[in-house]
Amino acid sequence: MRAVRFHRHGGPDVLQLDEVAVPEPAAGQVLIHAEAIGANAIDTVLRRGGSPWDGPLPGTLTGDVVGRIVQLGPGTPPGVAVGQRVSALTVDAFAEYAVADAGFLAPIPDDADAGEATMMSLAAPLALRLLEAGRIPAGGTILIQSAAGTIGHLAVQLARSYNPKTIIGTASSAHRLDFIRELGAEPVNLTAADWPDHVRAIAPDGVDTVLDAVGGTVFDQGLGLVAPLGTMITYGAITTELPSIPVSSLFGLKTVTGVGIQGWREARPDEARADITEVTHRWQSGELRPIVHATHPLADVARIHEALDARTSLGRLVATP
């Protein structure tokens, strides 16, 4: 089968299609014949190299695969069957076939858009869990960093169900800020040196919840915006600068919580599966509107990474084998 690999670190041009063997599903896994693959921004960091999370070469790309199950590994849960259309997170996603954990599959209707469906296995459940961990009070204020991205644009929409007074979203370009405004959030330009002052102008008493996957200085500035008794959620560091938090910054009864989808699945598997069911229901009911910015053939994966590097896309970028 064809699968994307990078044999050295660098720009999008290091991504290539290799011929590799179709993987065999291990215990508790399924093999999926892919029809759509959703890209993750973190893979641009892994592709460039020099991050705390670098793995061995050749490297693969993570993502969310939508397709039909064609083979079951031993010990798959009851109800999982060959022929089912599903979405699943996998560590070697950009390929014609992918193996995935059978315990966390998102069932996808036959008539559903495949690109949108890629967001039901990781992006939307993670967005929901970030908001739940953020303890947003009714009538409160939430700040969502990178609000035009795959997870951010879903979090903006899901945040409405918590009845906040204000949803603030950051982005780094005019068309992304317009997109955030259309989603119903107050846009703030993260490239402005005084962006925290713009947030304070909107929320002079501070924000109750911040969702951050940027890290570095942006994390520190965001923590400074958190109101007493508020919550800072960290779920990554696209800058590769992992947050370092002085205890003194928490004395205003602030809470910092780290959220990772794998840790959540291991700690509370039943609740993690319930998150998948919940976001899929909201999507099918029309309450949640996943946005696919563009779809490219698998052979053009470099174009996807060029857009991710440039931070120009709205919502998600998708590949088709």
For the chain, the domain total comes to: 2
Domain-embedded: residue 301: yes
What are the C-alpha distances in Å from 262 to residues 84, 90, 95, 319? 23, 11, 22, 24
Q: What are phi and psi for residue 61, nearest 5 degrees?
A: -110, 130
**pLDDT attached to residue 19:** 98
Residues facing residue 308 across a β-bridge: none
d(CA 40, CA 216): 20
Query: Tens of pLDDT along 140-189?
Result: 999 999 999 999 999 999 999 999 999 999 999 999 999 999 999 999 99
pLDDT of residue 291: 98
Q: Are residues 153 and 222 in the same domain?
A: yes
pLDDT means per 10 residues, the chain with 321 residues, are: 98 98 98 98 95 93 98 96 98 98 97 98 98 95 98 98 97 96 97 97 98 96 97 94 88 94 96 98 97 98 97 96 95
Q: What is the pLDDT of residues 207-226, one digit of tens each?
A: 999 999 999 999 999 999 99
In the block, tokens 């053939």 appear at 297
pTM: 0.96
258 in the same domain as 139: yes
Domain match, 307 and 220 both: no
Pick from 220, 260, 256, 214: which is nearest to 237 by CA? 214
Q: What count of Cα atoms within 13 Å lies in the side-chain half-sphere of residue 192?
A: 14
Residue in this structure with the two tokens 């490297």, named with its chain if needed: 59
Say what the pLDDT of residue 242 is: 87
pLDDT of residue 248: 87
CA angle 283, 286, 287 (to 5 degrees): 80
Task: Note the pLDDT of residue 244.
Answer: 87
Domain boundary among 246, 263, 280: 263
Range of the domain at 60: 2-121+291-320
The reply to whether 31 and 145 lie within a common domain is no
Q: Does 147 share its domain with 257?
A: yes
Q: Is residue 50 part of a domain?
A: yes
Same domain for 249 and 297? no
